[in-house]
Amino acid sequence: MFSKLVLVSSLSVAFAGFCNDKSADCGNWARDGECEKNPDSMTSLCPLSCGVCTFNCTDIHESCVPWAQDGQCEENPLMMFKECPIACGVCTPECKDSKKQCEGWALSGGCNDNPGFMSRYCPVTCGVCKHLCKDRAQDCPGWTAQGECYNNAQFMYHKCPSSCGVCEMGQCADKNETQCHIWHDSGECERNPLAVMKECPKTCGVCSVHCQDHDPGCKGWANAKLCDSEEDKAFMMRVCPSSCGICTELDKDEL
C-alpha cells in the first residue's frame, strides 16, 4: 500500500501553497464526526481534514488581504478559508529569495530600510519566511490516523512532519547542531528516524521554507493598520507577512 503513497505525495509538491491542519489529532477527530459536531473550533484547527481548504491552495480574490485585515477570517471563516486561505493563514506558500544580491543588501540594512521590496524579493534572508515543519501531501492526516507515523516513520517524517508532530510547535530547529551533523553524515536520519529526525529536523531535511505569521498578535496589528505604518512596516513585514499580504504576493510570484 505504501508504495502508492510515495507517488501521490511526489505529485503534490508542484503547487505553491499548502493547507495544513494545526493538530496531529485532526484525522481522528474528522473520522469521528467532530467537523460536524464542533464546526466552530474544527474549522480553524483542522481546515484540511474538515475540507475547509484544499491542500494545494491560493487566494482567489484581489480583496482577500483587506478582507482579512477587516476581520473577515474570524467572522466568516467558511467562505474566507476557502477563497482566501493564504490571507487567513491556513495556507502557507513555500518561498525563496529571488535576487542574488539579497545577502549583501541585508548586510547594508536593506531589510529595515526598504522592507516592502526586501520582503518580496529576499523573504528568506530577511526572516519573512522561515524553516517550518509543514506537511507535503494532502493525505497526511489520514495516514497519521492509520498509524503510519510509526509504521513508516522515514517516509512519514519527511512528507508529513506537521501531522506526525516531528517539530516542537511546528518550528524547525536542531537541538544540537554539531551532533546532528554527525548523525546525518553517518546515516542515522534514515536508520533511526523516530528519534533522530525529531532531534535534528533541519539537518535531516524534514523542514521546508514557508511564509506565515510568526506572532499571534498579527491579525490585530494588521487590523490597526500597522502594516502601512512607516514606523512599524519593517517589523510587520518580517513578523506578520500573512496578515500584511506578503505571503499572498509571494504565492502570485510562484504561480
Predicted pLDDT at 222: 92
Predicted pLDDT at 202: 92
pLDDT over 60 (residue 7): no
Share of the chain above pLDDT 70, in %: 93
Spell out a b/e string for 203-213, using b for 16 or more CB atoms within 10 Å of the CB, else e: bbebbbbbbbb
Pairwise CA distance, residues 77 & 26, whole Å:
18
Nearest Cα to 250, choosing from 202, 205, 209?
209
Average pLDDT of the chain is 87
Q: Residues in the chain, how many?
A: 255
The arithmetic mean of pLDDT across residues 42-56, rounded, is 89
Region of poorest pLDDT, from 8-12, 175-179, 201-205, 247-251: 8-12
